[in-house]
């Protein structure tokens, strides 16, 4: 029976990163994958959906320009969309495939990495069985990293068949733009697909159980996104409970019940269920490895380590923070904690996020909403894109920067929210400032290129210092500063009582 220093189960972004870091340290690694190297990150996740989003934004941008000149809008067929998607997936898949093949060759010390195909099942704390096409083999390892990814969360009341009612994985198998679609779930994935399908002349309905879409974000962020979606014809069913949904030969019919007791029945061509994802850890035979799980079947973790300290989980398998960049860092961190002596807990607080909506939304650190929930005193500065030369040049002036800092003389950066074209371009500068506890004076004094979107971030810093080029008291509808103290929250609670 073959023995390895490390066995990584799952060759998606997190598992692949873990295996590569272990190779850096001179370890012998087995990398097990039952399907395709690259996983959801390539085939039906980040790369695939963002390729569709990029295409949709280019088409939408071109059409906004030509409509003002009285021309007919530009249309793309689903075949053209699918061809672009296939090309992007192939390019990324080719990188992974070539890398694995060349790394496993004798010329590159191929004995360090074994790529094993099949489904892994623990037979003991240090042994797994690998099954493929009815054939089985077993290996042993000193350490294991579980990186088995996730799958779309289902609902017992929504019969997903991947023909009329799709999951967020199955939706990529469409054969044409549907005439109409209902999206169940107004979180990040649901709103991203509402943006994507809107460019295909598809009538989009979005079911939102909450008072507003993207409820985890600040109200001004979710309001701008909702306004843009509605302006482009998306119907948002706010405060709506899905009573039933059925797939019929000619349509998908669903009934909603609203907070006021009224009901509504709607017929559409297709439906997409988008209510999150669940970790793929239920078919690993963890009980044979002596791994503790909670009442829902999730792995009990201390950082990335399980109750069996030689077994770690990374990426989506951890059940939270299901993002490619975070998964890759978790994979590397797990290996470093095993052999590199890195005992520092992995910190996700300075991880930037991007939501591919219309317009793009990027964030890092704390939002205003989160600060108030935690009772953190803070100051904010917000500037609209309509004040930025680059946004004006792009003719993309919908959006804003909002910088959140401590309510003291230091004004250390707590977080940033950016909505608009190239919003994510400012994230890393802010992440570095947060990591080192720097205040806005550093940001205000940097020499930003002109014209650039990041000049908006600099102007936010200057507004907080009272040295901005444009003055908030003049452009009060486009520029504003504010502050908040926990006493304001207590005061409101007293008044409500």
Give tens-digit pLDDT for 256-302: 999 999 999 999 999 999 999 999 999 999 999 999 888 877 888 88
User: What average pLDDT does this structure show over 207-235?
Assistant: 93
pLDDT of 62 reads 79
- Min mean pLDDT across 194-203, 390-399, 461-470 is at 194-203
Is the pLDDT at 104 greater than 80? The verdict is no
Query: 174: how many CB neighbours lie within 10 A of its CB?
Result: 18
- Cα 402 to Cα 35, 174, 409, 488, distances in angstroms: 42, 38, 19, 21
- For residue 366, pLDDT beyond 70: yes
Predicted confidence band at 488 (pLDDT cuts at 50, 70, 90)?
Answer: confident
d(CA 81, CA 83): 5
pLDDT at res. 20: 94
Cβ pair 429, 457 in contact under 8 A = yes
List 367's β-bridge partners, or say none.
none
Residue 497 confidence (pLDDT): 45
User: Do the Cβ atoms of 322 and 309 come closer than 8 Å?
Assistant: no
Overall average pLDDT of the 146-165 stretch: 95
Most confident among 55-59, 315-319, 348-352, 381-385 (mean pLDDT): 381-385
Cross-strand pairs, 182: 205, 271
Kindly tell me the sign of the dihedral angle through the C-alpha atoms of 42, 44, 50, 52. positive
- Domains of the chain by start residue, with CATH: 2-43+85-151+278-339 (3.50.50.60), 165-275 (3.50.50.60), 359-489 (3.30.390.30)
Q: pTM for the full model? A: 0.89
Give the tokens for residue 330: 């978790």
Question: Considering Cα of 447, then 453, then 454, then 459, what sign does the dihedral take?
Answer: positive
Q: 184, 209 in Cβ contact below 8 A?
A: no
Spatial contact of 291 and 124, defined as CB atoms under 8 Å apart: no
The whole-number pLDDT of residue 429 equals 85
Query: Which of the residue ranges 337-346, 421-430, 456-465 would you say has the lowest mean pLDDT?
Result: 337-346
Give the per-residue pLDDT at 46: 83
**pLDDT value at residue 110:** 64
Q: In a 10 Å sphere around its CB, with 0-12 CB exposed, 13-18 middle and 19+ buried, how is residue 142 labelled? A: middle
Q: What is each CA distance from 427 to 36, 63, 431, in whole angstroms?
A: 32, 29, 6
Q: Is the peptide bond before 359 cis (omega within 30 degrees of 0)?
A: yes
pLDDT above 60: residue 496? no
CB 435 within 8 A of CB 413: no
Residue 201 has pLDDT above 60, yes or no: yes
The count of other CB atoms within 10 Å of the CB of residue 396 is 20
- Categorize the per-residue pLDDT at 247 as very low, low, confident or very high, splitting at 50, 70 and 90: very high
Q: Which two tokens stand for residue 140?
A: 């042993």
pLDDT beyond 50 at 125: yes
Q: Which range, of 41-45, 86-90, 446-450, 480-484, averages the lowest pLDDT?
A: 41-45
Q: Sign of the C-alpha dihedral, residues 288, 289, 290, 295?
A: negative
Q: What is the pLDDT of residue 298?
A: 82
Share above pLDDT 70 across residues of the chain, in percent, rounded to a whole number? 97
Cα separation, 433 vs 150, in Å, equals 33
């Amino acid at each position: 029976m073959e023995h390895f220093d490390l066995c990584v189960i799952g060759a998606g972004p997190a598992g692949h990163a873990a295996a590569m870091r272990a190779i850096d340290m001179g370890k012998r690694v087995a990398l097990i994958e039952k399907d395709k190297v690259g996983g959801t990150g390539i085939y039906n996740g980040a790369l695939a959906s963002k390729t569709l989003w990029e295409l949709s934004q280019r088409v939408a941008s071109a059409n906004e320009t030509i409509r003002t000149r009285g021309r007919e809008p530009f249309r793309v067929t689903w075949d053209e969309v699918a061809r672009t998607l296939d090309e992007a997936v192939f390019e990324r898949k080719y990188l992974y495939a070539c890398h694995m093949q060349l790394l496993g060759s004798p010329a590159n010390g191929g004995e360090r990495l074994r790529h094993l195909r099949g489904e892994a099942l623990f037979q003991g704390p240090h042994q797994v069985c690998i099954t493929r096409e009815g054939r089985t083999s077993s290996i042993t390892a000193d350490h294991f990293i579980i990186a088995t990814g996730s799958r779309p969360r289902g609902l017992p009341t929504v019969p997903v068949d991947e023909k009329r009612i799709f999951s967020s994985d199955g939706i990529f198998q469409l054969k044409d733009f549907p005439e109409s679609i209902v999206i169940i779930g107004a979180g990040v994935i649901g709103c991203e697909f509402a943006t994507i399908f809107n460019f295909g002349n598809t009538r989009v309905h979005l079911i939102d159980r909450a008072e507003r879409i993207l409820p985890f974000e600040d109200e001004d962020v979710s309001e701008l996104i909702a306004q843009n979606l509605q302006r482009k014809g998306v119907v948002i069913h706010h405060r709506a409970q899905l009573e039933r949904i059925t797939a019929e030969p000619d349509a998908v019919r669903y009934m909603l019940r609203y907070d006021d007791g009224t009901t509504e029945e709607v017929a559409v061509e297709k439906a997409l269920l988008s209510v999150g994802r669940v970790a793929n850890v239920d078919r690993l035979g963890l009980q044979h490895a002596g791994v503790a799980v909670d009442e829902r079947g999730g792995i009990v973790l201390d950082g990335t380590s399980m109750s069996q300290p030689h077994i770690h989980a990374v990426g989506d398998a951890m059940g939270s923070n299901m993002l490619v960049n975070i998964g890759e860092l978790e994979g590397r961190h797990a290996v470093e904690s095993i052999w590199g002596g890195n005992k520092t807990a992995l910190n996700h607080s300075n991880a930037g996020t991007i939501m591919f909506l219309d317009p793009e939304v990027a964030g890092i650190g704390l939002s205003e909403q989160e600060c108030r929930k935690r009772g953190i005193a803070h100051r904010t500065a917000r500037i609209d894109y309509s004040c930025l030369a680059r946004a004006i040049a792009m003719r993309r002036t919908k959006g804003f920067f909002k910088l959140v800092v401590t309510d003291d003389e230091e004004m250390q950066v707590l977080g940033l929210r950016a909505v608009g074209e190239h919003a994510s371009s400012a994230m890393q500068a802010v992440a570095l400032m947060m990591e080192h506890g720097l205040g806005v004076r550093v940001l205000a004094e940097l020499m930003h290129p002109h014209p650039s979107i990041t000049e908006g971030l600099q102007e936010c810093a200057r507004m907080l210092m009272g040295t901005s080029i444009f003055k908030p008291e003049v452009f009060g509808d486009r520029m504003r500063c504010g502050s908040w103290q926990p006493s304001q929250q207590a005061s409101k609670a007293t008044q409500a009582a």
